[in-house]
Structure 1
């Protein structure tokens, strides 16, 4: 079952942006922890939060029209 939305491109950008931000965040966090760089670790965690936020916004937008039982 595929939901059709008028702003499908926005949802796609949020999904891809969120996934890319999570991957970059994981890499930056790993490099920051490896080289004991607090700033890089913080930046990695910031990207992880940004990516998770974008995915949550995408899910909330997709489920706006449906009602929960």
Structure 2
């Protein structure tokens, strides 16, 4: 269960970047839908997808050495 320290900063960047992208994506999507801006809504959805992908990659990387899988 001990994580290697070599990838610690990179995984932290993925985690914080993913969370930041999801927050920005939610805000942009909400603004785009409220004011009917198609481009803002599209950019917001793209940020949501980017954040989800970054967090998914972090979770997959963390669980690679798991004895359960």
Unaligned runs of 5+ in 1: none
Alignment partner of 1:3 is 2:2: yes
- TM normalised by structure 1 equals 0.91
Aligned CA RMSD, in angstroms, stands at 1.3
Q: Which runs of 4 or more aligned residues in structure 1 lie more than 4 Å from their structure 2 counterparts after TM superposition? A: none
Q: Deviations over 1:1-51 (max 9, x none)?
A: x63212100000000000000000000000001110011001000000000
- TM normalised by structure 2 equals 0.91
The count of corresponding residues between Structure 1 and Structure 2 is: 68
Shift of 1:68: 1.9
Which structure's residues are more often helix, by fraction?
2
1:28-39 correspondence to structure 2 within 5 Å: 28-39=28-39
